[in-house]
Amino acid sequence: MRIIAGKARRLPLQTLPGKDTRPTTDRIKETLFNMLAPELDNAYFLDLFAGSGQIGLEAVSRGSAYCVFVEQNKKACEVILANMKFTKMDNQCRLMQTDCLNALRQMEGNYRFDLIFMDPPYEQNLETEVLMYLAKSSLLKEHTTIVVEADLHTDFSYVKDMGYQIGKEKLYKTNKHVFLYKTDEVTA
């Protein structure tokens, strides 16, 4: 696992050993960042369920101004801190070791994000809880892009009722990226 492009290009990243996290492959990460490229310049990026921190670090390497990582697992947090320091991007990053909803509540009034990426554990509906919270949050800007990495079978038909629209969906072999945007319409 490595940084693919930008100022930290080719730097290797640590990952958490074992099966506690599912690191995004370089090929999928490259596809994701090709789609996000126009939005990265000076963006405030939020990496939820951050794992090793590779997605947020890739964003900062490619020009995002700042990234907040949220991760609950202590060992994963140690890996994120090591990766931040090794890539010399620690001055553009903040790590919050807590659950996502608690972190979101703590950030209210202090941050507004251009891009939010989340890769929650599959089949636990954690993305639903986070999306529900974000729907009423001041953390979103007018045109914030939210990207959810999920199992191929995860249903997102409910998001319209929360005031989101699905902009695009990119399907891979075993998972997908769903790009969500806030609308003014809430049907629930």
**Unique residue bearing structure tokens 């290797």:** 12
Domains of the chain: 30-165 (3.40.50.150)
pLDDT of amino acid 20: 59
- Segment 22-62, tens digit of pLDDT: 677 788 899 999 999 999 999 999 999 999 999 999 999 99
pTM: 0.93
What single letter denotes the amino acid at residue 184?
D
